[in-house]
Chains A and B, each alone.
Chain A
Amino acid sequence: MTLNGAAAEASPGSDTTAAELVRDELGLTGTKVACGAGVCGACTLLVDGTPTASCLLPATALAGRTVTTVEGLAGPDGLHPVQRAFAAHDGMQCGYCTPGFVVEAAAFVDRHRAEHGDTRPSRAEIADALAGHLCRCGAYEGIYAAVAAACAGEHDTESPLPPPRAEAEEKVTGRARYTTDVRPEGCWEAVLVRSTRAHARVAAVDAGGAVHVDLLGADRTVRYVGQPLLAVAAPTPAEARAAAERVAVDYRDLPAALDPAAAHHAGAPVVYPTREAQNAAPSNNEGPPLPGRWRGNLRGPSGFGWRGGTAVRRVKDAAKRGDRRLVAEVFRTGPQVHTALEPHACVARWDEHGDLHLHTSTQAVVGVAEAAAKRWGLPRERVHVTAEHVGGGFGAKGGLRVEVVAAAELARAAGAPVRLVFDRAEELTDAGHRPGARVELGLLADAKGDLAALTMDAYNDGGMSTGGMVATLGLLMYGNAPRRLRDFDVLTNRPPGAPFRGPGGAQFHWALEQGVDMMAERLGEDPLALRRRWDGNRKRRALYDWAAALPVWAERTRGAGTGRFRRGVGVAAANWIYLTDPATVVDLVVEDGAVVARSAVQDIGTGSRSVITDVVRTELGLPADRVRVGVGRSGWSYAPGSNGSRTTASIGPAARDAARALREEVRRRAPGAVSGSGALDPEALKSLEGTQAGGRRRRDRGGYLTPVALPGMGAPGRGLTGAVHVMEVEVDTLLGQVRPLRCWAGISAGRMYNDRLARNQCEGGVVQGIGYALYEQRRDDPVTGAVLTTNLEDYRIPGIGDTPEITVHFHEEGWEHVVGGGVGIGEVSTIGVAAAVGNAVHDATGWRPREVPIRPDRLLEGIGLK
């Protein structure tokens, strides 16, 4: 075949896929494999110019063909216009889907320009062309913009401006290396052997002579289908799979609790029968779980609130007298799977000094290093964790997970590096999920329409994990009316949950924000006006005012529509906390005539590399090519994990502090190199080689946010971030489809460090919220407990065609007490979105959805299937 312009030869086996050939044999790792099933497009190659999913294409089909991978897209005059456009419009976040998108878009743009000249295609045309691609980060708005601009001929020459994302060029060319691309010389492959039983004691395991590590807990019990019980390794993937096949497990089946609606009934099989087993249950939240009493499979309540007795009494009395100003409703959500496109992966190696080297797809580089050091009894600096690029995390890639433990143990046993990569079925079963919940909401208004009481009981369905914290989030919303907030865990023999972008927040807002809409209807009040009244906060009031002034809101028609296609507009508010990590450090050093920043921080697509780059460039007035940033190594200066909305708010100020310190150091050494405005003279850097400075994250003014510190979350900063989402949908009442048309996202989180990246993240938050509201549902077999949605056809995440036109509005005032002026937006930008969809569907149809996802069958039943 001709590969990227040169002749190439290979003699692949019959079952080898084209993706395996180019990645594993020819070393072109720009092509990614994310689903392996022809759904996501990450593996797209051009075969004789036609975009083709290489994960299903037999490698033998490439014989005699002309093949172009992402690495071969660039021509003699530099990057393909589409690559430049993706960089300029930031059509990416984590970048794992980017090579596939770019390859397909290049073919589309070339064809479009040949047929229609330099014109902009419609959104629908772009969506049709890119229908075979999925981006879990939801960077679709940037992708639309990039493709349209490339078609219009706007990127035929190199842009004089650097792209908004520091590593954009690496991502559009396929050069960016992810853990799944790492395969050192002599590397062995590992496979996890997983339980096929929902609940069983394992009497014996016969590893069949393979190099293996036992992963079962002390009680030798498996508690869900898919639980890892052993890992094996062998020199090649095929041998490893064969070794895994040979493992024999002797199960002694135990009765299993599979239905979260019945697991707490008397007589149900108990998931954790002993105190020790209960204490060993994994947590699906950040930090230690709230205290809670166990009764069989029910754990809790963990009660919070203030004047809880009053709240309960008021709600009860209102129910008795049939008060219309009481909204008493039950809302439901199911498990939502993170579905990062880069699967969980680790490559582990022990060196000759006994140091442990881990390449891993993690959102907590330092966290993994610390935990690994503890587990293997090493000083922290002898564990070397690398995560150069990370293909998405969303909460599921924190801490020392099974892929790291297994790979490191096997590497020791094998005396060779070992690589362990989850496949998509494992990822969709056992990589964590946002637990489902049944939320009982009580919302009472008094005669004046003020909030008189809030009660919420949440029964959290995190499989065999504990830690559900949904109702507790009622501490954050709508002032200080009496409230009782209780969280329960309902344990079942199903896979454990994990923190997911605003843990508990999406479930909580789905219930509360629809409840508030119902209240507005009862009170005959505009839903925005009611929220504005109930929410005393000045920053969020600015968002309500902004939303109320939007034409789509001001001009909306009231009441359900008629006819087959009905439009509706819905609104939802959300609050979130922010954390900072005062231990964060950024180090700068002058090297090769440039300022180089180094930080352990990982970049999971949220832009930590770009934040440091921008701050240093701006602060020191340097051109793009004079600032370089390295991230994702545990040996570099301390940075927190990417969760809890704390990364940007921690590293941004530390980077600024470091830049200022460096400037002082330069001034001391070469006063002439610093201009009046504080900029460094780029030419002078050459003679300043080795000059260094470090910066810290200083403390914010003021104290804690809540009367009590939120358990397990550390000390949150003062002030809540806020979001108001306005969503317009069109409902097809004949076939039950809900189509999001336009969305406005108002965010109050202070100053944005990098405007385009921040918008991108908020756009992605909208897309993920739409997925939650409309499509995403893990399905489990009710009889065996096995997860059935093990591929990306059946587990449905939003595609580019499901993306509404999104407008992001930042209200930046009100964060002056925070060092750096800005805090995190990751969570607040997504957790309210589903409720906005729900409220819009209600506005369109008059039917109130109570359960996500709002599938066609549920919608049709709801609006009255004839």
Chain B
Amino acid sequence: MNAPQNVAAVAAALRETGAEARAGGTDLMARRREGIAGGPVTDLAGLVELRGVEWRADGSARIGALTTVAEVAADARLRAAYPALALTAAALATPQIRAVGTVGGNLLQRNRCAYFRSPLFDCHQSGGDTCPARAGDHANGTVVDLGSACVAPHPSSLAVALLAYAAEAEVAGQAKGTAGGGPRRPVADLYDGADSSRDHVLAPGELLTAVGLPAPAEGETAAYRRATSRSRAEWPLVEAVARVVWREGAVVDAAVAVGAVARTPLRLPEVEEALIGATGPEAAAGAVEGVVGRCAPLPRNGYKAALLRDTVRDVLERALAADQGI
């Protein structure tokens, strides 16, 4: 394969051919086999510049889009600086998928709704104008309504963690005069919760090149949790990330983000505020009280509201119990 070798050229080629980019391919190859993705493919593998972690002068990290999930999980410096991110990376999918799947592919993967993935159905996400999951099986559907007709939760676990760090996405190859986010934007702005037709807002030809994190916080403890039926290797019913920053035995800053409950990953500011001043895990139960009120369950996924609250409670208890000595 003579894959083009620089970002500008690849972006231009993508725009010209309308090809879909392929990073690790763990999502794209599955969709092509299922017959729900077609058309040309352009490999990103040749873009060595998008691999690996760069440490910037302020001590912050910039993670190339082609860095694998396993590299994020195993990188000692990332683990120390951004524990919530590394914990999340280590907990998602399976070792084989983490070894190949990339940060960019994880953030931009398509949703796992069984109707979307089945060749037997058309829906908003595949060019149609209905949502068969609404009338059908949506036991794992969204429980927080962001105004979309589609009820498939966003699949990306890394997005949840990056949201908790208020990370920034770097995007190349934008066509002139396009609306939407600029070349640098919050990771949250990769998504539009009201949009029923796609799982991220990048236009064909736009490339995610890196995610930039803010300088690490001193005295951070963190946790990642997901609710599943089996012990491992299962997509979450609900997932949650918590980071808390301590000064002198009390929480001075907190970030809590959740996934698998809405069309995008979500921050829970009301929970974060309630944590300020907390001194230990006892604070968790009170902090999550309002979470259920945010939820607007579908007819057959009502369990998710309380499960969301309790998963958040669990992740908070762990983050608050994790070595507060620092």
Q: Which residues of A are in contact with B by a Cβ distance under 8 Å?
A: 14-15, 17, 36-39, 41, 44, 50-53, 55-58, 60-61, 63, 104, 127-129, 131-132, 196, 225, 734-737, 739, 774-775, 779-784, 786, 788-791, 793-794, 796, 798-799, 801-802, 853, 855-857, 860-861, 865-866
Q: In the complex, which residues of chain B have a beta carbon less than 8 angstroms from the beta carbon of A37?
A: 30, 33
Q: Tell me the minimal C-beta distance from A239 to chain B in angstroms.
A: 16
B99 adjacent to A50 (CB under 8 Å): yes
Partner of A856, one of B25, B94, B237: B237
Q: In the complex the two chains form, is A781's CB within 8 Å of B132's CB?
A: yes
- Tell me which of A15, A39, A50, A53 contacts B41 (CB under 8 A): A15
A residues within 8 A CB of B311? 735
Query: With A15-B32, A775-B230, A866-B306 as given contacts, are A61 and B25 in contact (CB-CB < 8 Å)?
Result: yes
Q: What would 28 A/B residue contacts be, using CB atoms closer than 8 Å?
A: A36-B33, A38-B93, A39-B233, A51-B95, A51-B99, A52-B96, A53-B94, A53-B96, A56-B30, A57-B25, A61-B25, A131-B95, A132-B95, A132-B233, A734-B310, A734-B313, A735-B225, A735-B227, A774-B229, A775-B229, A779-B137, A783-B132, A783-B135, A798-B230, A802-B232, A856-B229, A857-B303, A860-B307
Residues of A within 8 A of B237 (CB): 856-857
Contacts of A15 in B (CB 8 A): 29, 32, 41
- B231 on interface, CB distance cutoff 8 Å: yes
Q: Judge if B326 is at the interface, Cβ distance under 8 Å.
A: no
Question: Is A38 a contact partner of B45 (Cβ separation < 8 A)?
Answer: no
How far is A737 from B144 in the complex, measured between Cα atoms in Å? 23
Chain B window 59-96, contacts with chain A (Cβ cutoff 8 Å), 1 for yes, 0 for no: 00000000000000000000000000000000001111
Chain A hits for B22, CB < 8 A: 58
User: Do A801 and B231 touch (CB < 8 A)?
Assistant: yes
Query: How far does the alpha carbon of A156 sit from the alpha carbon of B145 in the complex, in Å?
Result: 58
Cβ–Cβ < 8 Å partners of A127 in chain B: 231-232
Question: Closest chain A residue to B90 by CB distance?
Answer: A128
Q: Does B1 lie at the interface of the complex (its beta carbon under 8 Å from any beta carbon of A)?
A: yes
Using known A-B contacts A38-B26, A61-B25, determine if residue A56 contacts B100 with beta carbons closer than 8 Å. Answer: yes
- Flag whether B5 is at the interface (Cβ < 8 A): no
Docked-complex contact A38 and B231, CB < 8 angstroms: no
Q: Does B139 count as interface, using CB distance less than 8 angstroms?
A: yes
Select A783's contact among B32, B136, B225, beta carbons within 8 Å: B136
Q: How far is B99's CA from A780's CA once the two chains are assembled, in angstroms?
A: 33
User: Across the interface, which residues of B come within 8 angstroms of A51, CB to CB?
Assistant: 95-96, 99
Question: What is the CA–CA distance of A861 and B301 in the complex, to the nearest angstrom?
Answer: 12
Distance in Å from the Cβ of A18 to the closest Cβ of chain B? 10
Contacts of A783 on B, CB cut-off 8 Å?
A: 132, 135-136
CB distance from B211 to the nearest CB of A (A): 23
Q: Once bound together, how far apart are the Cα atoms of A781 and B123, in whole Å?
A: 14
In the bound assembly, the distance between CA atoms of A860 and B120 in angstroms comes to 33
A-B contact count (CB 8 A): 163
Write the chain A residue with the least CB distance to B68: A50
Cα–Cα distance between A607 and B242 once the two chains are bound (Å): 50
Instruction: Give A50 to B121 CA distance when docked, in angstroms.
Output: 37
| B168: Cβ under 8 A from any A Cβ | no
B206 near A: Cβ within 8 Å?
Answer: no
Q: How far is the CA of A129 from the CA of B98 in the complex (A)?
A: 12
A852 to chain B, nearest CB (A): 12
B112 within 8 A of A: yes
- The smallest beta-carbon distance between B155 and chain A, in angstroms, is 11
List residues of B (303-320) whose CB comes within 8 Å of A's CBs: 303-304, 306-307, 310-311, 313-314
B6 CB-CB contact with A under 8 Å? no
Further pairs besides A38-B93, A132-B233: 15, Cβ < 8 Å: A51-B95, A55-B29, A57-B25, A57-B29, A58-B25, A225-B120, A735-B311, A737-B227, A782-B137, A784-B132, A784-B136, A794-B114, A799-B233, A856-B229, A856-B237
Residue in B closest to A770 when the chains form the complex, CB atoms: B230
- Rounded to whole angstroms, the CA-CA distance of A784 and B136 in the bound complex is 9
Any A CB within 8 A of the CB of B224: no
A865 to B304, CA, bound (A): 11
- With a cutoff of 8 Å between Cβ atoms, the chain B residues found around residue A861 in the complex are 303
The docked-state distance in angstroms from the alpha carbon of A799 to that of B313 is 27
Cβ-closest chain B residue relative to A15:
B32
Contacting pair B96 A44 (CB below 8 A):
yes
Top 9 closest A-B pairs, CB basis?
A: A132-B94, A857-B303, A801-B231, A131-B232, A788-B114, A53-B96, A801-B232, A735-B227, A131-B233
- B229 engages A853 (CB within 8 Å): yes
Set of chain B residues within 8 Å of A780, measured between Cβ atoms: 137
Distance between B126 CB and nearest chain A CB, rounded to angstroms: 15
Task: Report A-chain residues with C-beta under 8 Å of the C-beta of B117.
Answer: 791
* A128: chain B residues within 8 A (beta carbon): 95, 232
Q: Which residues of A contact B230 (CB under 8 A)?
A: 774-775, 796, 798-799, 801-802
B246 at the interface (CB under 8 A from A): no
Given the interface pairs A196-B120, A788-B137, the reply to whether A56 lies near B25 with Cβ below 8 Å is yes
> Is B191 at the interface (CB under 8 A from chain A)?
no
Contacts of A799 in B (CB 8 A): 230-233
Residues of chain A contacted by B313 (CB below 8 angstroms): 734
Q: A786-B118, A788-B114, A799-B233 are in contact. Are A60 and B96 (CB under 8 A)?
A: no
In the assembled complex, the CB of B140 is this many whole angstroms from the nearest CB of chain A, namely 9
Q: Which residues of A contact B99 (CB under 8 A)?
A: 50-52
Interface contact B232-A735, CB-CB below 8 Å: no
Interface centre among A41, A50, A131, A789 (most CB of B within 10 A): A131
- Is the beta-carbon distance between B97 and A38 smaller than 8 angstroms? yes
- In the complex, A628 Cα to B285 Cα: how many Å? 66
A647 to chain B, nearest CB (A): 31
In the complex the two chains form, what is the Cα distance from A337 to B311 in whole Å? 30
Q: Which of B24-48 contact A (CB under 8 A)?
A: 25-26, 29-30, 32-33, 41, 43, 45
**B17 at the A interface (CB under 8 A):** no
A313 to chain B, nearest CB (A): 41
CB of B137 within 8 A of CB of A781, answer: yes
B29-A17 in contact (CB<8A): yes
Please, how many angstroms separate the alpha-carbon atoms of A553 and B45 in the complex? Answer: 57
CB of B165 closer than 8 Å to a CB of A? no
Q: A57-B100, A131-B94, A857-B303 are in contact. Are A796 and B234 (CB under 8 A)?
A: yes
Which B residues touch A735, using CB under 8 A? 225, 227, 307, 310-311, 314
- Pick the most buried of A196, A789, A857: most chain B CB atoms within 10 A of its CB: A857
Min CB gap B14→A, angstroms: 14
How far in angstroms is the closest Cβ of chain B from A17? 6
B112 touches A58 (CB 8 A): no
Contacting residues, chain B, for A17 (C-beta < 8 A) = 29
Q: Is the CB of B26 within 8 A of A56?
A: yes
* Chain A proximity of B11: nearest CB distance (Å): 19
**Given the known A-B contacts A61-B45, A127-B232, A801-B230, are A53 and B30 also in contact in the complex, defined by CB atoms under 8 Å?**
no
Q: Which residue of A lies closest to B32 (CB)?
A: A15
CB distance from A495 to the nearest CB of B (A): 14
Residue among B26, B121, B229, B230 with most chain A CB within 10 A: B229
The complex places the Cα of A853 from the Cα of B136 at a distance, in Å, of: 20
Give, as a whole number of angstroms, the nearest-CB distance from B258 to chain A.
14
> Contact check: which of A38, A44, A786, A796 meets B120 at CB < 8 Å?
A786
Q: When the two chains form the complex, which single residue of B1, B94, B100 contacts A41, counting CB atoms closer than 8 Å?
A: B94
User: A801–B233 Cα gap in the complex (Å)?
Assistant: 9
Contact partners of B43 in chain A: CB under 8 A: 14, 58, 60
Q: In B220-263, which residues have CB < 8 Å from any A CB? A: 225, 227-235, 237
Bound: A182/B48 CA distance, A: 40
Alpha-carbon distance between A44 and B95 when the two chains are bound, in angstroms: 11
Contact partners of A63 in chain B: CB under 8 A: 1
| Chain B 249-301 residues near chain A, CB threshold 8 A | none
Contact with A along B105-123 (1 / 0, CB 8 A): 0000000101101101100
| Pick from B29, B95, B132, B303: contact of A860, CB under 8 Å | B303
Interface pair B97/A53, CB less than 8 Å apart: yes
Closest Cβ neighbor of A781 among chain B residues:
B136
| Assembled-state Cα–Cα distance A196/B119 (Å) | 10
Shortest Cβ distance from residue B261 to the other chain A in the assembled complex, whole angstroms: 14
- Whether the Cβ atoms of B32 and A865 lie closer than 8 Å is no
